[in-house]
Structures are given as C-alpha cells and as structure tokens.
Amino acid sequence: MREERIPCVYILASGRYGTLYVGVTSNLVGRLWQHRNNALPGFTARHHVHRLVHYEFFGEMEPAIMREKQLKRWHRQWKINLINESNPHWADLAAGLGLPPLAPRERRNGP
C-alpha cells in the first residue's frame, strides 16, 4: 500500500501560548510521530514542542513551502492570532488525525 503525500504547513506548540514551531511536510501524521518521539533532534525535541495547534493542506508542495516561509516571517502575535481563530483552546489537533493524545509532561523545576 502506497502512502498518500499531501503537502501541509503546520504549527506546533509546547502548550497554550507556549513556544511555537512552524514546519512543512508532505506526510503530516508521519512528521508528527517523528516530533513526538524526538526522532528529529533539534528545536522541537529540546523545547518539548509537540502539540499540533494549526495546519493547512495544499495541492502542491511549492505553495506549502511559500506559506511556511511566510508564517516563519510573521510576528509571534500574528501566529497566535491565527491559532486563536481556528483553535481558541489550543487543543491538540493530532487526535483528529488518528494519533493518540499527548501524555502530560512532567515539570522539571518547581511544583
């Protein structure tokens, strides 16, 4: 069985109003699995940015890449406004794509 490729821009967050990450992929579920299992060393693994809070699908990769670059240039508040428009509770949208909910993260410092 061949896996379907659908270009997508996505925003991950560490929590509500937390650290944000903008990415692009042709396999959103597969990329989310990589982020959640820290299979991709780097920013999202270091900062525990695993909650899918926004995504947009495209017919082709070129406009998806252009949108990713646009969102990366945006001010943080503009990204927050975009998320709040469609996902005001900052729910993890990955559950709607068939992934299990995120486990609660243990706090490292303090209660």
What's 85's domain CATH number? 3.40.1440
d(CA 26, CA 6) in angstroms, rounded, equals: 5
The pLDDT value recorded for residue 62 is 97
Residue 1 lies in a domain: no
List per-block mean pLDDT (blocks of 10 residues) for the chain, which spans 111 residues: 80 96 97 93 92 97 98 98 97 94 64 49
Amino acid at position 54, single letter: H
* CA distance linking residue 16 with residue 20, whole number of Å: 10
Inside any domain, residue 62: yes
Report how far Cα 34 is from the mean position of its chain's Cα atoms.
11
Residue 102 is predicted with a pLDDT of: 85
Could you tell me the two tokens for 106?
Answer: 């243990």
CA–CA separation, 86 and 78 (whole Å) = 13
The reported pLDDT for the residue numbered 103 is: 77
Residue 110 counted as domain residue = no
Task: Kindly state whether residue 34 falls inside one of the protein's structural domains.
Answer: yes
Position 1 scores a pLDDT of 43
- The answer to whether residue 80 sits within a structural domain is yes
What is the reported pTM? 0.90
Whether residue 78 lies inside any domain: the answer is yes
- Whether the CB-CB separation of 21 and 4 falls below 8 Å is answered with no
Give me the pLDDT at residue 28, please: 97
Residue 92 lies in a domain: yes
- Helix (H) or strand (E) holding 20, with range, is strand 20-25
Q: Which helix (H) or strand (E) holds 56?
A: strand 51-57
Question: Can you give the residue range of the structural domain that contains 26?
Answer: 8-97
* Residue 107: inside a domain: no
Could you give the number of structural domains in the chain?
1
